Amino acid sequence: MINIIDHVGIAVRKIEDSLPLYRDMLGLRNIRIESVPEQKVRVAMITVGEVKIELLEALGPDSPIAKFIEKKGEGIHHIALRTDDIRGELKRLSSAGIQLVNAQPTRRGTEYEVAFLHPSSTNRVLIELCQLLV
């Protein structure tokens, strides 16, 4: 079951250049920054109530975020929906004909397992399913 929008991912060139907007102008103070080398990104998780904004910065030119920014510029990259059964959801969606980017979830940092649905099946919006690690 999908429970909540967990976060909205936003591709940025430099997290440090974007933080003044979220921290100082918008006054959001619950910010955690972490590197996720296995996905070639650096991430700032900004909590807003029950939902987060995830700023994504490329770690190197071969990062998917670098390629996204090169093609489309900075902006909304994905919407993440949280589930308590990511494997079951992937299986269910796949058998319903939804194209998956990841058939199996991968660990994302210290907090999540994640998998992406292919935009060709989702109105050209990249959707991430995520499950909190316990």
Select 24 or 41, whichever has its Cβ closest to Zn ion.
41
3-state DSSP assignment of residue 76: strand
Rounded least distance, CB 81 to Zn ion, Å:
10
Q: Kindly list the residues in this chain that would bind Zn ion in the complex (CB under 5 A).
A: 9, 54, 80, 128
Cβ of residue 61: shortest distance to Zn ion, in angstroms?
A: 21
* Distance between first and last Cα of the chain: 17
CB of 116 to Zn ion, least distance (A): 9
Kindly state the helix (H) or strand (E) to which residue 19 belongs, with its residue range. Answer: helix 15-19
| Nearest-angstrom CA–CA distance, 107 and 112 | 6
Nearer to Zn ion, 24 or 103 (CB): 103
